[in-house]
A and B are shown apart, each in its own frame.
Chain A
Amino acid sequence: MDDIITVFISILVEATPFLILGTLIAIIVQRYNIFDWLIARLPSNKFIRRISVSLFGVALPVCECGNVPLARSLMRKGLTTAEATTFLLAAPILNPITFITTKEAFRGVPWMLPARMLGGLAVALIVGHFMGIYKQNKVLRKDFIATCKPRKIHEHNKSKFSLQFAEEFWSMFKLLALGSAIASLTQFVLNQNILSNVTSNYVLGVFIMLLLGFVISICSNVDAFFALGYAGTFRYGALLTFLIAGPMVDIKTLAMLKNTYTKKALYQITFSVAFLACAIGIGFSYVG
């Protein structure tokens, strides 16, 4: 029980500051016209536009917890569901801190960094495109769509900064607390010793690392070092699956997305990311 509490507190102490930073940036984006200039100048071609949006993470390195309020804010600013989903999935991977740590951790495996960056971008673009096929009310929750209407934005701008921050923080934090509790309990049940014993089958290794990434809910900025610990146990393809899927969908992030996306959309995002990341991982398992 003590270990569960330690891990639970650890996730909260690690993630809450990023959530605060992400919420602060999200409110600034929402209230002031900092991003309007950039959004207005995005290319009109859908594909190039989504690639450009996925690179927002380079300027806003706040990892996955902070990206959730930011993605909500960008949707309120007029980004489509497909664009916001692409940003949400790509930004934790395509940011400078993740770039540096992946490069440092996998010095001896030169293909790992480009494979992670390009693989992450590809998965984000495909899943984002997939979400764009559906009508907005099938993907996003009605109560969230209501907050995106222009009238509401005007009301937000009139309200106090602190109240706006508090509303957004509360709506995210209660889900973060829930996600952290589930993640810490699951970690207690999941015996990494048993997992790492299943090493002979590389396809199984890919699925195990996918599961580990989903449960561990580790920050994308440093997950490369954690993955490196499994380098002797699993093939590098399995580690790549962990590095691509982990920052996109894990227990903590999914809990935080609960009040933005519909349940069906969350299932679709989770399974599409898992499928694509596994396909990439299995493909690269032949390489190393």
Chain B
Amino acid sequence: MLDREPRRFWYVLGALVCLCIVLIALRGRLGYYIHPRYYTFTVITSTIGTLVLFKAAISYVYTKEPTIINYGSVTELVAVFGKWLLSKGAWFVIIAIILLAWAPARPLMSGAANRRQQQAQEATSASKKALMQTTWFANPKTINQISQVLSIEEGQKELEGKKFNLTGFVRADQSGDSDIFQLSRFTITCCAVDATPSNLRVYMKDWKSKYPVDSWVKVEGSFKALQTSRGQQLLLSGGVQAVSQPDEPYDYLSF
């Protein structure tokens, strides 16, 4: 037997979507997908959504008299249910629930960074001035801020010799130099959709044998002018150690 219009299944599916979002929050994985400023809002609204939709599924059974049809065989029942799934777009929501609930949580890494890397543009006098007027120009903290400061000559002079303690993931350097890797981290303003990678070039002999691409590392060192295969370059140099992936793997831009 099957309800001809199994609306309560829709409601249960909707409730499961909201519940999955709450579970992602409980597992501490919201930071993989959205900016922390949305955490509280997301948890509150998703909890309300879960409760209201489950209530709707229960209410539906008691407020409407569903048309009950007797199906002659299991095949007929499966055919009707299958038709409902295809015609109402429910299958798509089921895929969404499966991904929300079971897909291994993973932040964006070097694959996405390669696709999203913007070409460095030559700084104009206006952009230079704007950068130098920022509150963090003399004392940048994040990989995003440091990479911006390094993009102009005045910034390079400012940062040479300064010590930093930075965490990011390993990315191969585009120069192909075997002793240089990129310490990368995405910056997000809203969610993973707008994530933009920032990189710092790190000098380390034979880094590939110790730290595979996409592994998370902490680099404690300073910027030094070092001789490389492409001449003298300002590189981050110091101790590198493997660390576990942080719960909040991006730099979250605030305003």
Q: Do A and B bind each other?
A: yes
A interface, CB within 8 angstroms of B: 2-3, 5-14, 16-18, 20-21, 24, 100-101, 104-105, 108, 159-163, 165-167, 169-170, 173-175, 177-178, 180-181, 183, 187-188, 191-193, 196-197, 199, 216-219, 221-223, 225-226, 229-233
Chain B interface main SS type: helix
A174 adjacent to B88 (CB under 8 Å)? yes
Residues on A with beta carbons closer than 8 Å to the beta carbon of B119: 193, 196-197, 233
When distances are taken between beta carbons in the complex, the residues of chain B under 8 Å from A21 are 45
CB-based A-B contact count at 8 angstroms: 187
Q: List 7 A-B pairs, minimum CB-CB distance, nearest first.
A: A166-B56, A10-B192, A225-B189, A17-B45, A232-B121, A162-B56, A174-B89
Given A178-B92, A217-B193, A192:B116 Cβ within 8 A:
yes
Residues of B within 8 A of A178 (CB): 89, 92
Is the Cβ of B45 less than 8 Å from the Cβ of A169? no
B14 and A160 form a contact (CB under 8 A): no
- Tell me the complex Cα distance, A130–B153, Å: 52
A162 touches B189 (CB 8 A): no
- With A12-B100, A21-B45, A223-B190 as given contacts, are A233 and B121 in contact (CB-CB < 8 Å)? yes
- Chain B positions 81-96 with a Cβ under 8 Å from a chain A Cβ: 88-90, 92-93, 95-96
Tell me if B255 and A225 are in contact (CB < 8 A).
yes
A225 touches B253 (CB 8 A): yes
Which of B17, B114, B127 lies at the interface centre, i.e. has the most chain A CB atoms within 10 A of its CB?
B17
4 more contacts with CB within 8 A, not counting A13-B33, A14-B190, A17-B38, are: A192-B116, A196-B118, A232-B123, A233-B118
Shortest C-beta distance, A108 to chain B (Å), equals 5
Determine the chain B residues whose CB is within 8 A of the CB of A221 once the complex forms. 190
18 CB contacts below 8 A, A to B, read A3-B112, A6-B112, A9-B33, A10-B193, A13-B42, A13-B100, A17-B49, A20-B46, A165-B53, A166-B11, A166-B52, A167-B7, A178-B92, A188-B115, A191-B115, A193-B114, A193-B119, A230-B118
B155 smallest CB distance to A (angstroms): 15
Residues of chain A lying within 8 A (CB to CB) of residue B99? 5, 8-9
Taken residue by residue from 20 to 62, chain B's Cβ proximity to chain A (1 for < 8 Å, 0 otherwise) reads as: 0100100000101111001001100110110011011101100
Q: Which residues of B contact A233 (CB under 8 A)?
A: 118-119, 121
